[in-house]
């Protein structure tokens, strides 16, 4: 089969489109023909090399996959069924898994992180990770949905989002950002967002009440002005160093900040007096439980949520797709297709 692999860490040029052996069927797994695979920032980090994480080389990345089942060791999902894949892989046996908190499993992995992923014509996954698709759902949309909507749903759940809450979403044009805006609106929240100036109109169309330029403005001050001094009950933060101070200052008394990423750097600080005097809560969030993905997928399948697809590239052009994601030019998700 054709696949994109990197044999060593480095810039986008290390991604090689080449012939590799097809995955073999093993117990408890299915083989899926990949029709679409969406990019995530995780793909960039692992290609560059992640400190203290040893990625088997050569490696096929890719966590967000849609396609159809071509072989299966168990009959839960029939051959020929169109599916999207739950990107989180867990043991299914430990206490966390049995409690439906599989993202806390000690052996938790993300498809394409330590295992080979979806930058290929075929991928092997546990049968538990198969999510059947309705006929009307497009493969490109299905690939763009799982990881970012799962992440955003878990973040908003940690923050106990409720109708009437003021939610500030950082980087509204990103994959997690566009998912969080839609999910927060679905919960009945007032949603504000930050974005680059050229992405403002698209972010408003997603459902943000107002959009602040996070490159040029003090969005914490602007949000307070827009909410009669209240600020944000919830901040969805995944940018890191560049926005952290303003994100914390944007919080209302009793506000909750949830962070799942650090695309601009991981070293931040906080004044503990501000934390306890204003009774703020900070949550760290990583992925989410399969049950959360299935709950969000119901809204997706019924048309209340829809991922934004920025651009679709042929699989062989994965390096160019990485360059676009690194440049932050995209709005929504970038998708690779082996069929193009």
* pLDDT single digits (tens) 86-120: 999 999 999 999 999 999 999 999 999 999 999 99
Residue 243, token pair as written in the block:
């926005």
Q: What backbone phi and psi angles, to 5 degrees, belong to 197?
A: -55, -40
Count Cβ atoms below 10 Å from residue 134 Cβ, excluding itself: 11
Least confident of 8-12, 179-183, 197-201: 197-201
Residues 6+ apart with CB under 8 A from 27: 73
The tens digit of pLDDT for each residue in 223-277 reads 999 999 999 999 999 998 889 999 999 999 999 999 998 888 888 999 899 899 9
pLDDT at 264: 85
Name the nearest CA neighbour of 140 among 44, 40, 79, 65: 65
* Domain boundaries defined on the chain: 2-145+307-337, 149-284
CA 39, CA 144: separation in Å to the nearest integer? Answer: 8
For tokens 């080389």, name the residue.
57
Whether the per-residue pLDDT at 123 is higher than 90: the answer is yes
β pairing state of 251-259 and 232-237: parallel
Whether the per-residue pLDDT at 75 is higher than 80: the answer is no
Would the CATH topology of 2-145+307-337 be identical to that of 149-284?
yes
pLDDT at 240: 87
User: Which CATH superfamily, name and number, covers 2-145+307-337?
Assistant: Medium-chain alcohol dehydrogenases, catalytic domain (3.90.180.10)
CA torsion, points 284, 290, 295, 301, in degrees to nearest 10?
A: 120
**Confidence band of 216 (pLDDT split at 50, 70, 90):** confident
pLDDT at 130: 97
Q: What mean pLDDT is reported for the chain?
A: 95
Predicted TM-score of the model (pTM): 0.95
pLDDT at 317: 98
CA 250, CA 58: separation in Å to the nearest integer? Answer: 44
Vertex 284, ends 182 and 127: CA angle to 5°? 70
Name the nearest CA neighbour of 4 among 31, 264, 295, 12: 12
Mean pLDDT, residues 143-168 taken together? 98
Q: Which fold has domain 149-284?
A: Quinone Oxidoreductase; Chain A, domain 1 (3.90.180)
Count Cβ atoms below 10 Å from residue 164 Cβ, excluding itself: 10
pLDDT at 261: 86
CA 263, CA 244: separation in Å to the nearest integer? Answer: 11
CA 233, CA 135: separation in Å to the nearest integer? Answer: 39
The tens digit of pLDDT for each residue in 16-73 reads 999 999 999 999 999 999 999 999 999 999 999 998 899 999 999 999 999 999 999 8
SS in 3 state form for 71-107? EECCCCCCCCCEEEECCEECCCCCHHHHCCCHHHCCC
CA 116, CA 90: separation in Å to the nearest integer? Answer: 15
SS in 3 state form for 111-176? CCCCCCCCCECEEEEEHHHEEECCCCCCHHHHHHCHHHHHHHHHHHHHCCCCCCCEEEECCCCCHH
Residues 6+ apart with CB under 8 A from 64: 37, 38, 39, 40, 85, 87, 118, 143, 144, 145, 146, 147, 148, 333
CA 199, CA 127: separation in Å to the nearest integer? Answer: 39
Measured CA distances, 176 to 78, 113, 182, 229, 326 (Å): 31, 18, 10, 27, 15
pLDDT at 318: 98
């Amino acid at each position: 089969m054709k696949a994109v692999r990197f044999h060593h860490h480095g810039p986008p040029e290390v991604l090689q489109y080449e012939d590799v052996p097809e995955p073999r069927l093993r117990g408890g797994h299915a083989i899926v023909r990949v029709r679409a695979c969406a990019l995530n920032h995780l793909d960039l980090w692992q290609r560059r090399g992640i400190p203290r994480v040893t990625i088997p080389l050569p490696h096929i990345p890719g966590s967000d996959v849609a396609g159809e089942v071509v072989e299966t060791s168990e009959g839960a999902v029939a051959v020929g069924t169109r599916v999207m894949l739950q990107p989180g892989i867990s043991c299914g046996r430990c206490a966390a898994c049995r409690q439906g908190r599989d993202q806390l499993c000690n052996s938790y992995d993300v498809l394409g992180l330590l295992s080979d992923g979806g930058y290929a014509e075929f991928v092997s996954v546990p049968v538990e990770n198969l999510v059947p698709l309705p006929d009307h759902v497009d493969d490109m949309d299905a690939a763009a949905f799982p990881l970012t909507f799962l992440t955003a749903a878990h973040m908003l759940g940690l923050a106990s989002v409720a109708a009437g809450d003021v939610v500030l979403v950082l980087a509204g044009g990103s994959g997690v950002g566009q998912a969080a805006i839609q999910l927060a609106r679905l919960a009945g929240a007032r949603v504000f967002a930050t974005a680059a100036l050229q992405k403002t109109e698209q972010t408003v169309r997603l459902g943000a009440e107002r959009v602040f330029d996070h490159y040029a403005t003090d969005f914490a001050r602007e949000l307070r002005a827009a909410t009669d001094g209240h600020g944000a009950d919830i901040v969805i933060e995944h940018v890191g160093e560049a926005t952290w101070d303003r994100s914390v200052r944007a919080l209302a008394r009793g506000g909750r900040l949830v962070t799942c990423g650090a695309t601009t750097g991981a070293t931040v600080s906080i004044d503990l007096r501000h934390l306890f005097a204003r009774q703020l809560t900070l949550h760290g969030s990583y992925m989410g439980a399969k049950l959360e993905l299935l709950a969000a997928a119901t809204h997706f399948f019924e048309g209340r949520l829809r991922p934004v697809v920025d651009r679709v590239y042929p699989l062989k052009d994965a390096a160019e797709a990485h360059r676009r994601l690194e440049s932050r030019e995209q709005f929504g998700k970038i998708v690779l297709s082996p069929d193009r």
